[in-house]
Amino acid sequence: SYVLTQPPSVSVAPGQTARITCGANNIGAKSVHWYQQKPGQAPVLVVYNDSDRPSGIPERISGSNSGSTATLTISRAEAGDEADYYCQLWDGSTDHWVFGGGTKLTVL
Amino acid sequence: EVQLLESGGGLVQPGGSLRLSCAASGFTFSNFAMTWVRQAPGKGLEWVSSISFSATYTYYADSVKGRCTISRDNSKNTLYLQMNSLRAEDTAVYYCAKGVGGYNPNYFDFWGQGTLVTVSS
């Protein structure tokens, strides 16, 4: 079954660009979705189907997916972007829904 | 406005049982697959179980298969998770999440605030 590998932590300076990766064999052939979770809150969908944004999610947040890596990109990072971010996909071979281990984004 | 309100969590002894509920509103509940996701203290998200819109199909993580049963009552707009033979490692916040598909939730566009299940003697 799929195992999604994320870095435990990423740091970024305010105003700079943060990239959070999600790795798996041939993940580019799958649709990847991303969630933001702030402390004490429920997860929020921020990117779906690799690169689409739900309404209300700023254009600063974007996604891409190719080869063995899916990437969530947060441009012009702000203090309010500090959160845990999780990638997720559906593994059709097992009918399981899989989450990555999560990445803690710190805006220094 | 979509709302998902979980209830039924609490403290239970190892080997005990608990039934979680999720009351849904703000969308046509009977059209969408629903899912339970849990998060152990200080840990990441773990998919637990999903159910198709008409309850024809149910899916379980290996960690809970045989011990948990997901169900839904579309007349009451409510999702359930019956949890039996609970173990310490089942301790977590359990979230109810709405899928975007009918048979396959695919991804989860709305989440409840969660209910805490603590398994301890």
Does the pLDDT of residue B98 top 90, yes or no?
yes
Q: List pLDDT tens digits, range B38-66.
A: 999 999 999 999 999 999 999 999 999 99
Does the pLDDT of residue A1 top 90, yes or no?
no
Chain A residues within 8 A of B59 when measuring between CB atoms: 95-97
CB of A18 closer than 8 Å to CB of A108:
no
Q: List pLDDT tens digits, range A32-91.
A: 999 999 999 999 999 999 999 999 999 999 999 999 999 999 999 999 999 999 999 999
B3 reaches A (C-beta below 8 A): no
Facing B114 at nearest CB: one of A42, A49, A86: A42
Q: What are the b/e assignments for A29-56, b being 16+ CB within 10 Å?
A: ebbbbbbbbeeeebbbbbbbebbebeee
DSSP string of B13-71?
-TT--EEEEEEEESS-GGGS-EEEEEE-TT--EEEEEEE-TTSS-EEE-TTTTTTEEEE
Amino acid found at B113: Q
Q: How far is A15 from chain B (nearest CA, A)?
A: 27
Hey, are the CB atoms on B108 and A101 less than 8 Å from each other?
no
CA B95 to CA A74: how far, in whole Å? 26
Q: List pLDDT tens digits, range B65-97.
A: 999 999 999 999 999 999 999 999 999 999 999
Nearest Cα to Cα of residue B95 among B107, B81, B85: B81
B95 reaches A (C-beta below 8 A): yes
Task: Return mean pLDDT, chain B.
Answer: 97
